[in-house]
Chains A and B, each alone.
Chain A
Amino acid sequence: DTEVTQTPKHLVMGMTNKKSLKCEQHMGHRAMYWYKQKAKKPPELMFVYSYEKLSINESVPSRFSPECPNSSLLNLHLHALQPEDSALYLCASSHPGGEGKTQYFGPGTRLLVL
């Protein structure tokens, strides 16, 4: 199984809502990533988990809260978002550490904040 799944595929939320994005993989990868991608731009790294521990937080606002409950699951909790947070949110996984890490990406969650 070389698939990374993400739910939901689409999400519309108001600025006062709380929602969560979910990501799952069963490839035995112990590194998982959240990226944000705006239209016609490259993915921007938000968070990296390595062996279920947060290893990188790219100065992301606290209204985004990641969680890695186990080695297969990665969540991104959303609260009090702004319209400029509307984007495609991509999850990826890979083997941790070392050179030549190929990342496997999920299809993304298209988020619209009203």
Chain B
Amino acid sequence: SQQGEEDPQALSIQEGENATMNCSYKTSINNLQWYRQNSGRGLVHLILIRSNEREKHSGRLRVTLDTSKKSSSLLITASRAADTASYFCATDASGGSYIPTFGRGTSLIVHP
């Protein structure tokens, strides 16, 4: 299965701290995406990083990709209570159908 594995499964921090989530996958990919899901709601796309990129930034988000280790990390800096959500990585495999496959997700709680 190409499904990504997020680590940790749950993360609890104080407002203002940084949050780091990791995603590992099994086969070569075209790109990797991160999504956020607020409780019981739809997923919101955060950022896409292509297989030939190593780092991308978007506001308080920083994503890295290490294709040699088949892993990615999502860093949220200066977290806010509103960042409380589940975060999923999604990969689509090289030579595949380009349909993202979601990992298990990391549940982030940011305490005010």
Asked if B97 lies at the interface with its beta carbon under 8 angstroms from chain A, I say: yes
| Cβ contact within 8 Å between A98 and B48 | no
The residue of chain B having its C-beta at the shortest distance from the C-beta of A4 within the complex is B42
Contact B88 A100 (CB under 8 A): no
* Interface size of B in residues (CB-CB distance below 8 Å): 25
A105 CA / B88 CA spacing, docked (Å): 13
The reply on B50 being an interface residue by CB < 8 A is yes
B80, chain A: closest CB distance, angstroms: 22
Are A107's CB and B100's CB within 8 A? Answer: no
| Alpha-carbon distance between A104 and B44 when the two chains are bound, in angstroms | 7
Tell me the bound Cα distance from A6 to B31 in angstroms: 28
The verdict on A59 contacting chain B, using a C-beta distance below 8 Å, is: no
Q: Which of A14-22, A39-47, A64-72, A74-82 contacts its partner? A: A39-47
Cβ of B57: which chain A residues have Cβ within 8 Å of it? none
- Size of chain A's interface in residues, with CB distance under 8 A? 26
Cβ-defined contact, B98 with A90, below 8 A? no
Cα distance, A97 to B100, chains bound together (Å)? 12
Q: Which residues of B contact A99 (CB under 8 A)?
A: 30-31, 50, 92, 98
Number of A-B contacts (CB under 8 A): 59
- Report Cα–Cα, A6/B30, bound state, in Å: 30
Bound-state CA distance A110–B39 (Å) is: 12
B30 and A56 form a contact (CB under 8 A): no
Complex interface residues of chain B between 57 and 105 (CB less than 8 A to chain A): 88, 92, 97-105
A11 to chain B, nearest CB (A): 14
A107 touches B42 (CB 8 A): yes
**CA–CA, A100 and B88, complex, Å:** 16
| Nearest-neighbor residue (CB-CB) of B31 within chain A | A100
Please report which residues of chain B, range 18-46, place their CB below 8 angstroms from some CB of chain A when the two chains form the complex.
Answer: 30-31, 33, 35, 40-45
Residue of A nearest to B97 (CB): A56
Using A45-B99, A97-B98 as known contacts, say yes or no to A102 and B33 having CB atoms under 8 A apart.
Answer: yes
